[in-house]
Structure 1
């Protein structure tokens, strides 16, 4: 199996200290503002010890999310990636997603990481595309659930207003359209992906890469064709793994809230699903600032004591964001070190 990692830019080319600082600063500032406005002296005395084990459950669910994602990548690679490699890739992917704008995301890092684990660029790109497609299929199925549930539950908080509701509907339409286009490219006509890639690299500022990209686009098309020819059971299993990852992500805010106070469980889960879809369009690095605000907007009204809202946001972000950043830094540093060591040997 040939490696083409030399054709892929170092992660330092799409990671930025500025984005990292902005992401963490926005998160800390927003959490501090929420805690300041909702804090009541003696709040910790009102915590019920019998509920606190829920925070341990939240940690377990957070780990399961990573496990499902790693299992999906390993299965998509037809087990060419080891379990350790799959975990490293997911953690590096999560970290990059957490500290870069949504327009960049973690896909470039995931592609780079897979190449360092021995896959070529075409295989890595196809796996990332297929993984993204599975997510989009899941979103496409989740949207009707939210629309039907909205008949019986106040899924969209009244505070969001008509503009917010219109924005959510626009988001739903955009996600469904994107899912349809991606499904066509990956499952029906993989050659369309190659044509799009080649056209992009005909642009003046990318033309110098066009020759080697054409070769890798062929690899991508070939691997996409091989994925397309997989039996339905292959798609079902990978979809279930993707679903497991997203269910863990959606359950996490509700588990954190219930670890502090009673809340309407079904409504909390539905709002968690809606706000996770809204996270996709927050433009700041890692969604920082925006995701904390959306948590307050969607989950805040369900928390009976306003003084607990800041604590809930803090605990949720520690588990879902800061721990992920910590492990992600270690994984990303491993890949950077491997790249540096290789360059030193080459010299």
Structure 2
């Protein structure tokens, strides 16, 4: 892919993302008194807002740490700031592309520029993603139990989306683990790729097959390394668990910032878990629109002292838009910094 084409795609994805953001703002502010919303925003507690931003930034920090742990276990001397660079790149491109399709290719490109093999980078991303989804799955089990007991009661389409999100996450985790640890699945995939190479009019078919064999051999070696070191994945999972807990706790920080005392922390945490279940399934860039809509529906009984529109803007601003801005700034800074100085000296 040429640099010009890449820039064009980024601009196109960014334009589509901004359309979704504009639609989300219209949805949130529709029928509300802008003055009361502004007054509520002006009265929010700055220390609690900062606390919420710091908890949100744990999302980036955890992914950077986990990618560093995985890649170093494969023999790559990845520094802390290299890991953070991959995390920021992944979040930014996942946020502006439909179904988060742009994040991992951009991360693999950055890793390749740093001399990391494609197979090693791919397995590191799969391991990090699997750990995150498993951590989320434990939270979702608690949310499903709360829904069965009537403690959390999403209605209508939100209930359907939450149920589908839960089931698809089960299939997603199963699929990821199969790719990492099933030799039979990898052998079938390798034969399928061999067939594709033989059918299509490509030059140097033998060279392509040898490169494919080499990549799958490296991939298998990395998977074997993870199996031999279960403590490695245990460490990654622990980081992911902290990541999810902090991210799902942001609405509670918003409640504290806006002076709301309606519900206790566990109830708000479960509501946020259900919100994630309803939005993870839909292919909207950054879940723009659906996240705001689901927040309004689920948290309508939580924010009673402030306009719900103000609470939605604060929560979404901290949990997503602030992270998107940080990822964009830090991504550019770390990428340019590497060009001026060796990244290893930055630690």
Q: TM-score, normalised by structure 2?
A: 0.82
Q: 1:244 aligns with which of 242, 245, 255?
A: 242
1:127 is matched with which residue?
Answer: 124
Q: CA RMSD in A?
A: 3.3
Q: 1:175 aligns with which of 153, 157, 169?
A: 169
Q: How far is 1:315 from its partner?
A: 2.0
- 2:63 matches 1:87: no
Alignment of 1:1-347 (within 5 A): 12=6, 15-39=9-33, 41-45=35-39, 51-78=45-72, 80-102=77-99, 104-157=101-154, 160-161=155-156, 163-186=157-180, 188-190=181-183, 192-193=185-186, 195-196=188-189, 199=192, 202-203=195-196, 210-211=208-209, 212-230=211-229, 232-260=230-258, 261-264=260-263, 265-305=265-305, 308-333=307-332
CA distance in 2: counterparts of 1:38 and 1:123, whole angstroms: 51
Q: Residues 323 and 309 of structure 1: is their aligned pair in 2 closer, same or farther, counting only changes over 3 Å?
A: same
Q: Is the 8 A contact 2:48 2:253 kept in 1?
A: yes
Q: Residues 201 and 174 of structure 1: is their aligned pair in 2 closer, same or farther, counting only changes over 3 Å?
A: farther
Q: Is the 8 A contact 2:279 2:291 kept in 1?
A: yes
Q: How many residue pairs were aligned?
A: 328
Question: Any idea what the Cα deviations from partners look like across 1:267-298, whole Å, max 9, x if unmatched?
Answer: 21101011112221121222211122122122
Q: How far is 1:325 from its partner?
A: 2.6
CA distance in 2: counterparts of 1:149 and 1:263, whole angstroms: 18
CA distance in 1: counterparts of 2:213 and 2:234, whole angstroms: 31
Unaligned runs of 5+ in 1: 1-7, 342-347
Q: Residues 214 and 293 of structure 1: is their aligned pair in 2 closer, same or farther, counting only changes over 3 Å?
A: farther
Q: Is the 8 A contact 1:254 1:272 kept in 2?
A: no
Q: Residues 164 and 279 of structure 1: is their aligned pair in 2 closer, same or farther, counting only changes over 3 Å?
A: closer
CA distance in 1: counterparts of 2:86 and 2:112, whole angstroms: 10
2:343 is matched with which residue?
Answer: none
Q: Residues 206 and 269 of structure 1: is their aligned pair in 2 closer, same or farther, counting only changes over 3 Å?
A: farther
Unaligned runs of 5+ in 2: 341-347
Q: Residues 213 and 249 of structure 1: is their aligned pair in 2 closer, same or farther, counting only changes over 3 Å?
A: farther
Of residues 241-250 and 166-175 in structure 1, the stretch that sits farther from structure 2 once superposed is 166-175
Q: How far is 1:250 from its partner?
A: 0.8
